[in-house]
Amino acid sequence: MTPEKELSPEIYQLLASGHKIEAIKLIRQETGLGLREAKELADALSGHHAATDAAPPAFKEEGGAGGMTAIIIGILIAVFLYVFFLSD
């Protein structure tokens, strides 16, 4: 079983928001796994995906590090323009 392809996005959302017990319950419903196996799968999914990266790629929000880079570049450009054109 490839978890990313067969589990619902709700499981990843639950894990990302810290609702591990609810995620385990949903894993059990969707897969028919026992409690121990469902918990191990939830642990593996939590370890495999960081808290901000808990959804499979199709469900991730855009932004992240790229968005932060754009903000930093914007700030640097603003500082450059201020220093070289507005300060006397």
At 69, the pLDDT band (50, 70, 90 cuts) reads confident
Compute CA distances 86 → 1, 4, 15, 74, 77, whole Å: 61, 52, 49, 17, 13
Between residues 2 and 38, which one has the greater pLDDT? Answer: 38
CB 20 within 8 Å of CB 46? yes
Which has more confidence, 82 or 49? 82
Residue 24: exposed, middle, or buried by beta-carbon count in 10 A (0-12, 13-18, 19+)?
A: buried
Separation CA 13–CA 52 (nearest Å) = 10
Using pLDDT thresholds of 50, 70 and 90, give the confidence band for residue 79: confident
pLDDT for 13-57, tens place per residue? Answer: 999 899 999 999 999 999 999 999 999 999 988 875 444 444 555
Where does the pLDDT of residue 82 fall: very low under 50, low under 70, confident under 90, or very high at 90 and above? Answer: confident
Q: Could you tell me the residue ranges of all domains in the chain?
A: 3-62
Q: What is the pLDDT of residue 50?
A: 45
